[in-house]
Amino acid sequence: MTTQAIRRYLKHGTLPQLRVFEASVRLGSLARAAEELHMAPPTASVQIKKLSETVGSPLLEQVGKRMYPTDVGRRVYEGCGEVFRAFDALEEALHDMRTLDAGELRIAVTTTARYFAPRLLGAFAQRHPGIRTAMHVANSAELAERLHRNEDDVYLVADMPATADVVAQSVVANPLVVMARADHPLAGERGIPFRLFAREPFLMREPGSGTRAAALRAFAAHGLAPRTRMELGSNEAIREAILAGMGVAILSRYTLGIEAPPAGLACLDVDGFPIESHWQFAYPLGKHLSAAARSFLEFARAQARTLAREAPGT
């Protein structure tokens, strides 16, 4: 039914009128309907009158002591059943969403969390199998655009810049470290001066990456610029370039495993590292989080640290 077709029903509070009409037909008495609905008979009578005016035809007729629907009234009564069943179905669906028996959860995550986030989302889905989940992986610049357009329920980002129109909650540490090949001349050295590290060929993430921005800030803090040898679009590509002896890089520690660097790689002990960083859940200020999103955030705050330590590097 188009908006034009139902306009007359929308402007007169039709639902309460239908409730009185349905009870009157079912019980055969306007007085009994008023009693069941806990309203005065005159009030019930006014509701029926308004509904008749809205429909444009009498709906009830008195035969003896009993109230009967007219031909139009019988069709309206059938419509009452359809409307009430639709509301019953809607309420059942909403109940399932409130109780997390059904619903949808869409999250977007930074590339540095692409191994950790699925474990967090998977653990949540095991607890709530009725929730459909979806995850989008992107660099920081794309995540910021998606957040601005409100495309997802919640966002997992690295060090969300402070802004008045975004709510951000830190959930787990995301330290940045200097990675090199295990046989690099500086591997095993302690307290490596930043200036010495800065002489090394540097492998840089692509524009828009949060890791790239953090690396540039680190160099700028020392009044230096990286000797960028190559720009690459993923942490996996940078890892392979390190293993190929192409240079060193600043990466999220969790990207490459927690307990120890993967085979063939080493963390260099450079002054000022690891750089403190955090993963944060963010969403637009004023956004009404669904029951699934609220529950997921509560779950993440309780479980993120444990699951991050279990996340594999690749």
Please identify, among 98, 118, 146, the residue that sits at the C-terminal boundary of a domain. 98
Is 46 inside a domain boundary?
yes
With beta carbons less than 8 A apart as the criterion, state whether 110 and 211 touch.
no
Which residue in 189, 183, 175, 173 sits closest to 269, CA to CA? 189
DSSP 254: G
Same domain, 163 and 183: no
Please identify, among 57, 77, 98, the residue that sits at the C-terminal boundary of a domain. 98
pLDDT at 314: 35
pLDDT at 199: 96
What is the domain range of residue 206?
176-268
- Gyration radius of the chain's alpha carbons: 31
The packing angle between helices 291-310 and 116-127, to 10°, is 130
pLDDT at 283: 93
Same domain, 70 and 213: no
**CATH code of residue 12:** 1.10.10.10
Q: Count up the domains in the chain and report the number.
A: 3
Residues (pLDDT < 50) of the chain are 1, 311-314
Same domain, 258 and 289: no
With beta carbons less than 8 A apart as the criterion, state whether 283 and 155 touch.
yes
Is 131 inside a domain boundary?
yes
Strand partners, 168: 282
Is 212 inside a domain boundary?
yes
Question: Is the whole-model pTM more than 0.75?
Answer: no
pLDDT at 54: 87
pLDDT tens string 152-170: 999 998 877 667 688 988 8
Provide the b/e sequence for 42-71 (b: ≥16 CB within 10 Å).
eebbebbebbbebbeeebbeeeeeebebee
